[in-house]
Structure 1
């Protein structure tokens, strides 16, 4: 599932391309919304909240989309060839000079703009909210502390705690703080540091497609432990280990360095 910065960047690009533009074509190729035609509507804005994206129209409605595991928004010029098969397209929004195509958007909702909170009101503070202040930090900390018995790796992924963290940033935050992903939240020495670091990493990468947590622009050196199973830790040389964390559809691969991140670990498989 994409990180919040990926959705933020998609929203930024859609906002620049579509805001103020009248749609020549507005197809919703989703079984639930196929009868709705948005042609003739003007896009009034595009907003993101965590991993959720809202495209707003001048008739007082918004189109909500969530990328899940395989969704994506692409921008093209008219007549350009799409990079993904047409049968994967779920939304086509075309203006005079741009075509926005939403591929594999399994979650689509067309709803009144005034009711967007129905879909995102349960979320914790958005780490990329431009209005972020100490109130947001305090609320995220309160929600994190309320999950004292949860493993920190899972708590960081919980969008009801704070919105925007995916498996990449959860992994890197745990490494940079020297915490095993299985450490209970109650045993985390400084929970506020996890919030600050997660926000800092997301902000660093919010305006570019490349996601680096090490500071390196080289893709081969972009991450500390994420995606590096079996490779040597960049700090101590210990082999990076992996194990599944979480249950069912919430299970994710955890990467960690057992030397740099001491503490609870899963039983040997």
Structure 2
């Protein structure tokens, strides 16, 4: 699932394949920008902002995309078979003499002036993997609405940018709180530690091909290397800490996971 670490890795692949090279192919398959043509322009860079991607090209233009739940960018060598999905799922094609970047199932794709990027990403809170990370601001943002459920507050990109449903579930588990606990009910040290842990988890996974939140040194008896997440996606399976079956329920339209023994707080 695309979250801040996945988006960072995607930006790196796109930057390596496209930056400092002139586009020889451009196909934006969304009605609003179907006639836009960036061929002949050099790609300057590709940068992530939270879960957003900004591809900047000559002439002061930026292609803004967002992966959301199942979007993806794939990079192929010239002549390589495209395997990211059926053709009708392609939303963007950017190519040069060496590589072709293909965007599949992109729910957000827009071309804007680089000087107007803040209109697309200016609402974001501190970026967990960005150079301007500010833990104090992130903590203040989270606690601004103390009655809000913890899981919802973590998912709100206006508070801090980069957390998706996987990290939301794992962070709640590590804080020993259910996703429905009002965030203001967290003890102050726990809330501060939650922000620090969020940064540590995304930093630890920024270069990993497979996301991992469990610590190998703390793995219990019988735990396998494949069990890389504490609770996410483990509904009905034993909690890796206590053995109690993990439960799942809806959280603002998304599945939430928690251990009823390890995590305290209200549940549906």
TM-score normalised by length of structure 1: 0.93
Q: How many angstroms does 1:219 deviate by?
A: 6.2
Match of 2:254 among 252, 255, 259: 252
Q: How many angstroms does 1:151 deviate by?
A: 0.6
SS in 2 for 1:255: strand
- Is residue 2:219 matched to residue 1:232? no
Q: Distance in 1 between matches of 2:225 and 2:30?
A: 35
The answer as to whether partners of 1:233 and 1:257 remain within 8 angstroms in 2 is yes
The answer as to whether partners of 1:24 and 1:39 remain within 8 angstroms in 2 is yes
Q: Distance in 2 between matches of 1:60 and 1:169?
A: 35
Unaligned runs of 5+ in 2: 217-223
Q: How many angstroms does 1:85 deviate by?
A: 1.6
The answer as to whether partners of 1:27 and 1:39 remain within 8 angstroms in 2 is no
Match of 2:247 among 241, 244, 258: 241
- Is residue 2:12 matched to residue 1:12? yes
Q: How many angstroms does 1:160 deviate by?
A: 0.6
The equivalent residue for 1:208 is 208
The equivalent residue for 2:156 is 158
1:177-216 matches, within 5 Å, as 177-189=175-187, 190-216=190-216
The equivalent residue for 2:220 is none
The equivalent residue for 2:34 is 34
1:7-156 matches, within 5 Å, as 7-83=7-83, 84-132=85-133, 136-156=134-154
The answer as to whether partners of 1:27 and 1:91 remain within 8 angstroms in 2 is yes
Q: How many angstroms does 1:38 deviate by?
A: 1.0
The count of aligned residue pairs is: 258
Q: Distance in 2 between matches of 1:208 and 1:214?
A: 13
Instruction: Provide runs of 4+ in structure 1 moved above 2 Å.
Output: none
RMSD (Å), alpha carbons = 1.2
The equivalent residue for 2:263 is 261
